[in-house]
Structure 1
Amino acid sequence: METTSKIEIDNIPAILWGEPSDKIYIFVHGKMSSKESAHEFSQIASERGYQVLSFDLPEHGERKNKNYLCNVWNGVHDLEKIGAYVQENWKEINLFACSLGAYFSLHAYKNLPIKKCIFQSPIVDMEHLICKMFKWFNVTEELLREKKEISTPIETLSWDYYRYVKEHPIDKWNIPTAIIYGSEDNLQSHEVIDNFSKKFNSDLTVSIGSEHDFHTEEQSQAIKQWLKKYI
């Protein structure tokens, strides 16, 4: 039975997985997920001598009914709090982040002394994703500027968020990084992921036929094999 303890870091609900160690992975989940989703990852990591710290992003898990939005400002703020806590308590820091969690991490952790990083289906270009949503829901930049917020079936588009994203592209990431990306991912194009990987010398694995959320049994097995190679 795996050792876990529930903790709170500056009011952020978190779980610490594994036996005491001086090496840790910060685990940042994606959208529609929670800190509990680190379960499988932590089993592989603890076999290799790492602890894992997972936590709920705003509007997720135990934070669903709090009046605190899951946007880039709050997400990055919370990741910085977690990063500071980990720096105080562990010698070696590593990072796993998925989807939106990877986008927040690229902003929050670019200056953290992280030994290695693992990204699953990362959002590395949020402007690219928002522009896709413009097309999907017949929204234009002008309309969003005028309305400030536009609700869509996926999420509310915000002018302030869009402006932030345009003004803060990812231009620094010096951490050795491995990425797994599904060839059928509809949120980031292969070209976007490829450009990021080349720019920052990341080790890219393309899982043929897999989608953004790697939801089938076969696709989740591909993730497991990949994690065993890179953790």
Structure 2
Amino acid sequence: MYRTRFAYVVAFIAALVPLLAAGSAYQEKYLLSYALHDGSLIDGQVYGRISPGNRWVLHVNTAEDAVRATNIDGRSRNLSNQQAGELVEGLLLEIKLKHAAKLDSIRFDASTSTAFQEDIVAKLRQAPVPGSLKVQAKSKEITALLESIIRESDLATAICSKVGIVDARCSAADIGVNPVAFELQYQGHSWGEMKSQPLAGLQLDSLSFFVTLQPD
């Protein structure tokens, strides 16, 4: 199932990643906040209009200073999948109420949810990847597989179910990932060696997935 979609996936990634590439710049930029039901305040969620493309983008993350007042084990970067979904829903409501529901895409950093990271790594380890495959700095094969896994994940599905708040819709075909990167010390090793390493040797702190919204 995964390999039959490889060519499409690579083309989709190439088209999607430039939305937030280094050459993009914010023409308008806002920092949004949301208080979770448990009292945790999530700050620093970047929302704005980027150029080129004149597109409105929401970047969901829990960077070092994003969690201000927290009951999340006293740490940042540790939202549950349910809390991550709650955060996205709250931010979409703010965009609808204060910014006329202007939104074209969502970037979600995998580091926002440890549970999400662990889930996708577990499924990747079970995927039909040849053990002899040599992993490189950015592996197209692993990226394609990981994208298929993320598209089918509960979190990505939940996010797509919420974008109706901003009068949009999305499906699995509208979800892509940035190219997968491996830790430097693992590059050139075989996947058979790699998959037993912590987080399968992936640089998950740099992994994001992107949701392109379609008009409803």
Shorter-normalised TM-score: what interval?
A: 0.3 to 0.5
Structure with greater contact order relative to length (CA < 8 Å, sep ≥ 6):
2
| TM-score of the superposed pair, with normalisation by structure 2 | 0.36
